[in-house]
């Protein structure tokens, strides 16, 4: 399941981040990939200790903590500090599945990747290609979101980034360990939360709002891992 979370950054904030990134030093992204992934990866990626990347990453983490839709969809327990990549000049990333476990830079802490996230920083009209394609069995979904939008998708899905044939595609990306490991259970909780929010707007005094809210938290209590 792909989830589009709109305006994590405003278009102006995304443009500001992009201008800062345009001045950065961009090493070959293959140096950060594993043995198999390196053969599919053809992009540029900021080093994990790049000061600009760290600063922008902290800003994004702060914004995510104030984005209710992200919280509802991801139910985050841990979020890996965002990284940044650049696709240009036919740059692409072939079909691959993300690593199951990541180490947090500068820390002994590890994170299980339940969800992958891409925060688009370039406007779609500024580049050709660069769509993210995720595969779910026989279904292939093709996505290219506005600047400032975040795409969440299961980290165990086969996916790829198509070649960028004009312009440049800047993005932040990171992984989330969720309180709820199973994607199907996260989907149930998100649908239930959406229903509660809609009902609360139409009929805030309806006792069913309280009942369903209790059901939501009891399910979360049953399924959450901390």
- Per-residue pLDDT of 105-156, as tens digits, reads 888 999 999 999 999 999 999 999 999 999 998 899 999 999 999 999 999 9
Q: What percentage of the chain has pLDDT greater than the value 90?
A: 89
pLDDT for the residue 29: 78
| 197 pLDDT higher than 80 | yes
pLDDT for the residue 137: 86
pLDDT for the residue 105: 87
SS3 (DSSP) at 211: helix
| 62 pLDDT higher than 90 | yes
SS3 (DSSP) at 16: helix
Do residues 16 and 56 make contact, with C-beta atoms less than 8 angstroms apart?
Answer: no
Do residues 154 and 117 make contact, with C-beta atoms less than 8 angstroms apart?
Answer: no
**178 CA to centre of own chain:** 12
| 39 pLDDT higher than 80 | no
Q: Is 83 annotated as a binding residue?
A: no
Do residues 58 and 159 make contact, with C-beta atoms less than 8 angstroms apart?
Answer: no
Cα separation, 163 vs 149, in Å, equals: 20
Q: Is 35 annotated as a binding residue?
A: no
- Strand partners for 96: 159
Do residues 108 and 77 make contact, with C-beta atoms less than 8 angstroms apart?
Answer: no
Q: Name the residue with tokens 């996505």.
A: 143
| 36 pLDDT higher than 80 | no
Q: Is 128 annotated as a binding residue?
A: no
Give the confidence band of 77 by pLDDT, cuts at 50, 70, 90. Answer: very high
What is the arithmetic mean of pLDDT over 179-201? Answer: 97
Q: Is 39 annotated as a binding residue?
A: no
Give the confidence band of 40 by pLDDT, cuts at 50, 70, 90. Answer: confident
Rg of the chain on CA atoms, in Å: 18
Cα separation, 226 vs 209, in Å, equals: 27
Give the confidence band of 181 by pLDDT, cuts at 50, 70, 90. Answer: very high
| 28 pLDDT higher than 90 | no
DSSP 89: T
CATH numbers and ranges of domains, the chain: 3-178 (2.60.120.620), 183-223 (4.10.860)
């Amino acid at each position: 399941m792909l989830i589009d979370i709109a305006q994590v950054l405003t278009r102006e904030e995304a443009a500001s981040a992009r201008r800062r990134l345009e001045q950065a030093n961009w090493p070959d992204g293959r140096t950060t990939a594993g043995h198999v992934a390196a053969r599919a990866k053809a992009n540029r990626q900021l080093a994990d200790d790049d000061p600009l990347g760290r600063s922008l990453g902290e800003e994004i983490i702060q914004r995510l903590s104030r984005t209710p839709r992200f919280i509802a969809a991801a139910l985050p327990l841990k979020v890996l500090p965002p990284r940044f990549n650049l696709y240009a000049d036919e740059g692409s990333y072939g079909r691959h599945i993300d690593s199951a476990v990541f180490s947090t830079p500068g820390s002994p802490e590890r994170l299980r990747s339940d969800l992958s996230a891409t925060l688009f920083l370039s406007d779609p009209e500024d580049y050709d290609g660069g769509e993210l394609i995720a595969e779910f069995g026989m279904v292939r979904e093709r996505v290219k979101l506005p600047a400032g939008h975040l795409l969440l998708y299961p980290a165990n899905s086969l996916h790829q980034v198509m070649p960028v044939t004009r312009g440049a595609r800047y993005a932040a990306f990171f992984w989330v360990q969720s309180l709820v490991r199973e994607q199907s259970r996260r989907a149930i909780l998100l649908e239930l939360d959406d229903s509660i929010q809609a009902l609360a707007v139409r009929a805030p005094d309806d006792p069913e709002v309280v009942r369903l809210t209790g059901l939501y938290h009891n399910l979360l209590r049953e399924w959450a891992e901390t």
